[in-house]
Amino acid sequence: MSSRTMQHGNLRMSLPEGWSDATQIVAVGPMEKGFRSSLAVSSEPSAPRESLERHAARVLPMLHKVTEQFQLVSEGPATFGTQSGFLREYTHVARGVKLAQLQFYVMSGGLVHTFTYTQLAERMAMSRPTAEKLFASVLLGNAPVATPMSPRVRPKGVHFRFMRSIAA
């Protein structure tokens, strides 16, 4: 599939010159204390010769700019299921609510796919296994599918030098 073609499920579209796939697929979890965790997926063409680490570094200032009270918790290389990528965890405030997000960046077929899991900050530690299972189930290209029964996958090499305590 060319970078001018987008696909989601059985939908496939050719895009005009200058357009790119900005698909947002959102899955939501069950309602817990008035909040639903969510997973959003977006894809964008990768910059020439840009690594995932450089891509993550390039988008970091934008996260600071577009989120209120942004606080980086950790970031670094990670593997979930068959996908190796770059994982970033951070907190921010939206509409007066403190949220935590895990962003897993994966490069495939000339695209950077960003999987963003969002949860209430005080519940992230408890729901992290759900995010990890979602990330481990990602299938890009012809990679084998990870099943829900796969053992829990832990990030490899995540750097916690940015670890800060998250106040509830």
All structural domains of the chain with their residue ranges: 20-136
Cβ atoms 93, 69 nearer than 8 A: yes
Which residues, 6 or more positions from 61, have their beta carbon under 8 angstroms from its beta carbon?
none
Going by the DSSP 8-state scheme, the letter that residue 157 receives in this structure is S
Q: What is the pLDDT of residues 137-154, one digit of tens each?
A: 988 875 444 444 344 444
The rounded Cα 79 to chain-centroid distance in angstroms is 12
C-alpha angle 161-166-168 in degrees, rounded to nearest 5: 175
Using only C-alpha atoms, what is the Rg of the chain? 16
Per-residue model confidence (pLDDT) at position 13: 77
Per-residue model confidence (pLDDT) at position 74: 97
Which amino acid appears at position 8 of this protein?
H
Domain 20-136 homologous superfamily, CATH: Mog1/PsbP, alpha/beta/alpha sandwich (3.40.1000.10)
pTM (2 d.p.): 0.73
Going by the DSSP 8-state scheme, the letter that residue 67 receives in this structure is S
Residue-wise over 132-150: b if at least 16 C-beta within 10 A, else e?
bbbbbbbeeeeeeebeeee
Per-residue model confidence (pLDDT) at position 152: 42
Low-confidence ranges of the chain (pLDDT < 50): 1, 143-168
